[in-house]
Structure 1
Amino acid sequence: MDISEFPSPSKSFQHFSQRSVKVDGRRGRMVMVTACGKQVIMSRINLSQRIVIESGIYQRLSLTEIASRIGISRASVSKEIRMNRTPAKGSKPHGNDCRFANECEEKNLCCNFDCKRKCVWCFDYNCKELCNKYDNSPCSVLQKPPYVCNVCSRRRNCKCDRFYYMANQADAMSKKRYSKARKKTHADKDELKRIYSIVSPLIRKGQPISHIYAEHGDEIDVSPRTLYRYIDMGCLKVNNFDLRRKVSYKQRKKKREESEAFQNQKFRQTRTYLDFVTYIEKHPEINVVEMDTVKGCREQGKRMLTLLFRKTNLMLIMLMRDGKAATVVEQFDYLTSLVGVENFRKIFPVILTDNGSEFKYTQELEKTDQGERRTRLFYCDPQASWQKAQLEKNHEYIRYVLRKGKSFNPYTQDNMVLLMNHINSTRREKLGGKSPFEAEDRKEVKLFLKMLGLHTIPSDEVNLNPTLLTK
C-alpha cells in the first residue's frame, strides 16, 4: 500500500514540531519551550506528545526520531505505544485462536474419515491438541517497532489480533489507568493496621480528623485526604457513619427576600447586617463575637446561650432557665458583674446575632442599668444564618454530645463547663493545628475563662461522644 493513502501529519503535529524541548538535567524534568519563549514543565506524556507520536508512526519515523521531537527517551516512546495501543480482535472461527484458522483446510485429524467438516469448525475435538501446525503466536509485525498495525500494508485483510495507536484513545486509556491506580491502597496490611490502631480509638471518641492530625500527624504517614479515602474504601474498620460531617451536610436553602414589616422592626434599625459590614470596614482590627441560642427540645425549658469569638473559634456556653429576652439580659448582666464593664467591652466589643425574639431587648443588651455602653449589637439578615457561619458550624460539637431532641433540663452550668472544656480543647485545622484555648492570647479573655472555670483537656482525652454527659 502506498504511503499516500495514509493521513498526512495533523495540524497539531505541525504546531508542536515548531516547539523545542529540552531536559532539565539538574531536576530530571522535561521542559517544553513554546514559540513565544514560555517554558512548560512536562511530567507525564500528554495528549500533545501523543499526537506527535501518532503522526510520527504514520510518517514511518523511527522511535528515536519521534523521541527526539518530543524530548523523551526512545524507551519511553516504546513503552507508551505498547501500553496504550488499542486492540482490535481478529477473526476466530469457533473461538479458535490459531493464526492460520481462517485459511486452514485440515480434515480428519481425529481419524474419523466419515466426517466431511473442517477440523477448525469441529465441536467435538480441539484441533489445538491434534494439529501440528497450530500456532497462536502474535503477528511478527507487533514484535518490532512501531509495535502497531497503523502502517502495515496487510492490515485490511489480516485475520490476526491487531493493535493500533491513536492519540485520543491512548490519552484516555492512560488517564483511566492513572485514576485507577490512585484509587488503590498503596499501604500494605501492616501499615494499615498501624494507622488503624492510632486513628480508630480516637474517631470512636468523636474526635474530628483535623484534631487527630494536629496531635498525631507525625505518626500517620498518609495525608488527611488519603485517610478519608481509606475510610470510604472500608480499609480501616471504621466507616463514613463514624465521621459525622460526611453524612450530615444538607443543601443550603435559597435566600428569601426580606419583608418590609421585618425591616421596620425597631430593634433592627441601624443594626442590620449591612450596618455591621460598614462598621467592620471602619474598625478592621476589632474582635467580632457571634451569638445564638440552642434548644434542647420543643418543650419549654432550659436553653443554651452560645457566644463564639471569630478569630479563635473559642465558644462559651451559658445554660439559661428559658429562652426569653429578659433571661438573655440577665446573662449579660451576670458576665458584666464578673469582669466589669470595661473588660466586658474589651472581650465583647461587637456581637452579631440572628433575629430571634430572645435578642429583641437591644438597648438592655448594649447598655448596663446605669446606661454605660458595654457592647454593640448587630443582626443578620432573615434566613441568612450563613452570615454567622462559624457559630452555626461550631454547634455541631454540641450535638456530638447532646443529640437533637434531648432535653437540657437535667443539666447544670457545671455540665456546660465540662462540655466547653472538651470542645475548646479540640484542635482545628484552620487554627494551624491549635485548639481554641491555645489560639486565644488576650490577657483579659484568659482571666475571664479562668473565672468561668475553663481549662484545657489533654488532646488524647478529648471526648465528644454522648458518654461525656450521661443523664
Structure 2
Amino acid sequence: MARQKRPPDRAYARLDRSERNRIHRGLERGESARSIAADLGRSPSTVCSEVQRHRYVTSPREHRGQPAPSDEALAQSCPGLAKWPRCCNGCAKRRGYGCSRRPRVYYDPRAAQLQADAELSLSRRGIDADEEEAARQIAAIRDGLARGLSPEQMVASGAVTVSVSTVYRWAERGYAGMSNMDLRRKVGYRKRRRSAPERATSHSPRRSHAAFLALGDECAGAWEMDTVEGRRGDRACLLTLLHRPSRLQLLLPMPSKEAGGPEAWLRRLSSALGPGAARRVFALVLTDNGAEFSDERALAAAIGERPGETRLFYCDPGRADQKGGCEKNHVEVRKVFPKGRGGVSLEGVGEADCAAAMSHVNSSPRPSLGGLCPAAAFRAMLGADADALLDALGVEQLPYAEVLMSPEAVNRARRERGEAPLA
C-alpha cells in the first residue's frame, strides 16, 4: 500500500511532537532519512539535522543527558556512528545489550521537543523593536510608574504603545532597572483583618438595595457615596462620591465620620449648581450603612428629593460589593492619600488639597472609558452642569504628561501656595 504523504506547503514550519515521534519510530525500525522525510512531507536534510541536533548521551552515567559529542569523536568510538542515523537507535547490538562501546547516544523525541521549545522561547526574549523605539517605550513606562499610573492607564493614554501584558512582563524581567516593586497593586496587598460587623443603619424599606435594582437602567447613572479614612488616630476623613458612568471621583474633606458632614456637602454642591441642575446631576445616590449616613431625611433633602419620590438608596449590611465601583476607585485615591506606614494624615487636608487630588485622579486615562479620563467623560455626558460642578470644586482637567498619582500631586500645589507638605 502506497505511503500517504503530508501536504508540503504549511504555514507552521517547525517540527511538532507527533513528527518527532514519527522520526523516532523510523529510527527504531532502521528506516532511511529519505523514507522518513517522504512520510512527513519534509526534506531529508530536515530529518538529518533534527536527529543530529537532538542526540543525547545515555551512557556513561556521569554524562547522561548531555548533547552528543562531535561526529568525529563518535566515529572513533564506534564506526557505525559515522553514517546514518549517527545514533544508537535501531542498532542490533544495542537490542541484545552486547555493545560495550561508549558513549551511547540516542535520539529522544521528548527531549528534542523540550529543547526546541526552549530555543524558541529564548529567541523571543528581549524587545522586538530597534534601540531608539525600545528606549522610548521604556522611558514612557518608567515615567508612568514614577507618577503612580497603572500599566492599563499608560496604555490607554497612548503614551505607551505596547500591550498591558508586555508592560508587566518587562517589569518582571527587570528591563532598565524596573521590577515588580514598581507595580503598586502587584505588591501592595496584605491579608485583610476581620473586624466586628458594623451595626446596620436604620432606613426605610423603600431605600433598600433591592428597590434600587428595581429601577433598572436608571441605576447605571447613579452616584456611589462612601468615606475614606486617614491614618490610625485621625478623626478627619474624606467624603467620596463616584459617578458610575464616567468614573468621576469627588473628594470632599470632613472633620469627622459623624452624621451631618455628608448632608452639609450635598447641600453645598446643590446650592452651587442650582436646584434644577442639582436634580439632574445627583439623580440617584447609593451609599452604605455607616453612621455618617444614618440621617436619611437630611441626605434625601440635600439632593433635592421631593415628596413621593425616592432618590437615595442604601446597600445591604456588609455588602460593600454592591457599590463596588466606589470601592475599586478608592485604589486611585489611596495613591494620593496613602494609608498606614508611610501614609499621610487627613487632619490637615483642606478643600484646596482635595481639588488638587481630584484634578489628578480625574485626569488619568481609564481603559474602561476607551482611554478617556473621567473629567472628559463627565463633561461629555452632562455638559454645562458638569462644568459648573467641577468649577465649583476647583477641579481642572490636566494633560497626561502632568498627571501625578502620588502625595506629590497635593504637596506640589501646597508648595505653590506657600504651605508645608502633608505630614
Q: What is the rounded CA distance, in whole Å, between the counterparts of 2:315 and 2:166 in structure 1?
A: 38
Q: What is the Cα deviation at residue 244 of structure 1?
A: 1.1
Q: Which whole-Å CA distance do the structure 1 matches of 2:124 and 2:193 have between them?
A: 35
Contact persistence 2:266–2:303 (CA under 8 A):
no
- Alignment match, 1:419: 357
Q: Structure 2 regions of 5+ residues with no counterpart?
A: 64-68, 411-420
Aligned to 2:400: 459
> Would you say the 8 A contact 1:304–1:318 is kept in 2?
yes
The AA in structure 2 aligned to 1:395 is: H
For 1:427 and 1:348, the matched residues in 2 are separated by: 24
Q: Secondary structure at the match of 1:55?
A: helix
Say whether the 8 Å CA contact 2:234–2:345 is kept in structure 1. no
Rate the CA distance shift 1:53–1:346 in 2: closer, same or farther, 3 A.
farther
Instruction: Tell me the equivalent position of 2:88.
Output: 149
Q: Which residue among 179, 185, 189 is the counterpart of 1:249?
A: 189
Partners of 1:89 and 1:191 in 2: how far apart?
A: 50
Q: Residue 304 in 1 paired to residue 225 in 2? A: no
Say which of 225, 229, 251 aligns to 2:165: 225
SS in structure 1 at match of 2:7? strand
State the partner residue of 2:417: none
Q: How far, CA to CA, are the matches of 2:247 and 2:20 in structure 1? A: 51
Amino acid at match of 1:267: H
What displacement does 1:224 show? 3.3
8 A Cα contact 1:210 1:433, kept in partner: no
The residue number in structure 2 matching 1:199 is: 141
Q: Which residue of 2 aligns with 1:390?
A: 325
Secondary structure of the structure 2 residue equivalent to 1:455: coil
SS at match of 1:22: coil
C-alpha change, 1:135 and 1:414, in structure 2 (3 Å) is closer
TM-score (normalised: structure 1): 0.70
- Which piece of structure 1 moves more, 418-427 or 81-90? 81-90
Query: What is the correspondence of 1:42-441 to structure 2 with a 5 Å cutoff?
Result: 44-90=14-60, 139=78, 141-142=80-81, 144-155=83-94, 156=97, 157-182=99-124, 193-217=135-159, 222-250=162-190, 262=200, 266-267=202-203, 269-279=205-215, 282-283=216-217, 286-299=220-233, 301-368=235-302, 372=306, 376-405=311-340, 406-440=344-378, 441=380
Does the aligned pair in 2 maintain the 1:255–1:383 contact within 8 Å? no
Q: CA contact under 8 A between 2:240 and 2:251: conserved in structure 1?
A: yes
Report the 3-state secondary structure (helix = DSSP H, G, I; strand = E; otherwise coil) of the residue aligned with 1:344. Answer: helix
Q: Residue 151 and residue 228 in structure 1: after superposition, are their counterparts in 2 closer, same or farther (change >3 A)?
A: same
1:328 Cα offset (Å): 0.9
Higher RCO by CA contacts (8 Å cutoff, separation 6 or greater):
2
Q: 141-150 vs 241-250, which deviates more?
A: 141-150
Aligned CA distance change for structure 1 residues 404 and 146 (closer, same or farther; 3 Å): same
Q: Equivalent residue of 1:148, what SS?
A: coil
| Contact kept in structure 2, 1:148 and 1:164, CA below 8 Å | yes
Shift of 1:22: 3.3
CA drift of 1:196 comes to: 3.9
Structure 1 residues 382, 165: closer, same or farther in 2, change over 3 A?
A: farther
Equivalent-residue separation in structure 1 for 2:110 and 2:156 (angstroms): 44
Cα distance change on mapping 1:368 and 1:455 into 2, 3 Å: closer
Q: CA deviation at 1:245?
A: 1.3
Q: Secondary structure at the match of 1:372?
A: coil
Say if 2:17 is the partner of 1:22. no
Aligned mates of 1:138, 1:186 — CA distance in 2: 45
How big is each residue's C-alpha offset from its partner over 1:191-235, in whole Å with a ceiling of 9 and x where there is no partner?
Answer: 6544443332342232332333344546x5x43323322222222
Distance 2:23 2:204 in 1: 69
Identity %: 29
**Contact 1:292/1:354 (8 A) holds in 2:** yes
Describe the shift of the 1:92–1:283 C-alpha distance in structure 2 as closer, same or farther (beyond 3 A): closer
SS of the aligned residue for 2:224 comes to: strand
Once the 2 structures are TM-superposed, how far is the Cα of residue 236 of structure 1 from its aligned partner? 1.2
Structure 1 residues 421 and 141, CA, compared in 2 at 3 Å: closer, same or farther?
farther
Residues matched between the structures, number: 393
Q: What CA distance in whole angstroms lies between the structure 2 residues aligned with 1:179 and 1:369? A: 59
User: 1-side partners of 2:7 and 2:317: how far apart?
Assistant: 60
Quote the offset at 1:338 in angstroms. 2.2
Name the structure with the higher helix share: 2
Of 56-65 and 307-316, the range deviating more from structure 2: 56-65
- Conserved? CA contact 1:288–1:351, under 8 Å: yes
**Structure with bigger gyration radius:** 1
The alpha-carbon distance between structure 1 residues 340 and 19, as it changes in their structure 2 partners (threshold 3 A), is farther
Once the two structures are TM-superposed, the CA of residue 457 in structure 1 deviates from its matched residue by 0.7
Contact 1:268 1:379 in 2 (8 A): no
Q: Structure 1 unaligned segments of length 5 or more: list them.
A: 1-16, 31-42, 94-98, 100-133
Q: Tell me by how many angstroms 1:246 deviates.
A: 1.9
- Residue-by-residue CA offset, 1:148-172 (whole Å, 9 max, x unaligned): 3211223341432333233333333
TM-score using structure 2 length: 0.77
- Secondary structure of 1:306's aligned partner: strand
Q: Shift of residue 424 of structure 1?
A: 1.0
